[in-house]
Amino acid sequence: MKAQVEEEQEIKQISEEAHSPWHEAWKRLKKNKLAMIGLGITTVLLIVAIFAPIIAPYNPRYAPVIEDGKVELSLQGPSWAHPFGTDKLGRDIFSRVVYGARISLMVGLITQGIALVLGITLGAIAGYYGGLIDEAVSYLIQVFLAFPFILFAIAIMAVFSEPGVDKVFLALGLISWPPLARIVRGQVMSIKEEEYIEAAQSLGASDFRIIVKHVIPNSLAPIIVTVTLGVAGAILAEAGLSFLGLGTQPPRPSWGVMLKTGQEYIRSYPYMIWFPGLAIMIAVMGINLLGDGLRDALDPKMKD
Amino acid sequence: MADNILEVNNLKKHFPINGGIFKRQVNSVKAVDGLNFNVKRGETLGLVGESGCGKSTTGKVLLRLLDATEGEVKFEGRDIHKLDKKDLRSLRKEMQMIFQDPYASLNPRMTVAEIVGEPLDIHNLAKGKEKEERVRELLDMVGLSSKFAKRYPHEFSGGQRQRIGIARALAVDPEVIVCDEPVSALDVSIQAQVINLMEDLQDELGLTYIFIAHDLSVVRHISDRVAVMYLGKIVELADKDDLYDTPKHPYTKALLSAIPVPDPQRQREKIILEGDVPSPINPPSGCTFHTRCPYAEDICKQEEPVFEEKGEDHLAACHFTDKLE
Looking at this predicted complex, what is its ipTM? 0.83
Cα–Cα dist A120/A182, whole Å: 9
Cα–Cα dist B18/B281, whole Å: 12
- Cα Rg, chain B, nearest whole Å: 21
Q: pLDDT value at position B288?
A: 87
- Please judge whether A199 and B65 are an interchain contact, meaning their C-beta atoms are less than 8 angstroms apart: no
pLDDT of A12 over the 60 cut: no
Predicted confidence band at A245 (pLDDT cuts at 50, 70, 90)?
Answer: confident
Please check whether residue A203 touches B, CB under 8 A: yes
- Please judge whether B108 and A200 are an interchain contact, meaning their C-beta atoms are less than 8 angstroms apart: no
Chosen from A197, A202, A210 to mutate, greatest number of chain B CBs within 10 A: A202
Distance of CA B128 to CAs B131, B134, B137, B142, B147, Å?
5, 10, 14, 22, 18
Please check whether residue B64 touches A, CB under 8 A: no
Q: Which residue has the higher pLDDT, A3 or B261?
A: B261
Cα–Cα dist B320/A168, whole Å: 80
Give the gap in angstroms from C-alpha B208 to the nearest C-alpha of chain A. 17
Q: pLDDT value at position B1?
A: 46
Q: Does the domain made of A45-62+78-302 have the CATH classification 1.10.3720.10?
A: yes
Q: pLDDT value at position A248?
A: 85
B144 contacts in chain A (CB < 8 Å)? 4
Give the gap in angstroms from C-alpha A219 to the nearest C-alpha of chain B. 10
pLDDT of A136 over the 90 cut: yes
Predicted confidence band at A233 (pLDDT cuts at 50, 70, 90)?
Answer: very high
Going A278 to A282 to A285 to A288, the CA torsion angle's sign is negative
pLDDT of A60 over the 90 cut: no
Predicted confidence band at A18 (pLDDT cuts at 50, 70, 90)?
Answer: low
- Please judge whether B165 and A201 are an interchain contact, meaning their C-beta atoms are less than 8 angstroms apart: no
Across the interface, which of A1, A198, A204 has its CB nearest the CB of B123? Answer: A204
Cα–Cα dist B18/B25, whole Å: 4
Chosen from B92, B96, B107, B152 to mutate, greatest number of chain A CBs within 10 A: B107
A residues 103-142 closer than 8 Å to B (CB): none
Please check whether residue A193 touches B, CB under 8 A: no
Residue A135 CB-density burial (10 A; 0-12 exposed, 13-18 middle, 19+ buried): exposed
Cα–Cα dist B66/A87, whole Å: 70
Question: Is the pTM value of this prediction over 0.90?
Answer: no
Secondary element (H or E) of residue B71 = strand B70-75
B89 contacts in chain A (CB < 8 Å)? 204
Please check whether residue B161 touches A, CB under 8 A: no
> Amino acid letter at A238?
E
Nearest CA in chain A to B165: A199
Pairing of strands B176-180, B95-98: parallel
Terminal CA-CA length for chain A: 36
pLDDT of A17 over the 80 cut: no
pLDDT along chain B (325 residues), means of 10: 81 86 81 89 91 87 89 89 88 90 88 92 88 92 87 88 92 92 86 91 92 88 92 90 89 85 75 80 86 85 86 86 73
B44-48, strands of its sheet edge to edge: B95-98, B176-180, B208-213, B44-48, B225-230, B233-239, B314-316, B308-311
For range A227-255, the mean pLDDT: 89
Across the interface, which of B96, B145, B193 has its CB nearest the CB of A202? Answer: B96
B60 contacts in chain A (CB < 8 Å)? 198
φ, ψ of residue B157 in degrees (nearest 5): -80, 170
Q: In chain B, what are the domain boundaries?
A: 4-94+205-324
Class of domain B4-94+205-324: alpha beta
B151 contacts in chain A (CB < 8 Å)? 11, 15, 18
Q: Which residue has the higher pLDDT, B207 or A272?
A: B207
Across the interface, which of A11, A214, A217 has its CB nearest the CB of B148? Answer: A11
Please check whether residue B156 touches A, CB under 8 A: yes
Q: pLDDT value at position A303?
A: 45
Q: In chain A, what are the domain boundaries?
A: 45-62+78-302
The pLDDT tens digits for A143-170 are: 999 988 888 888 888 888 888 888 888 8
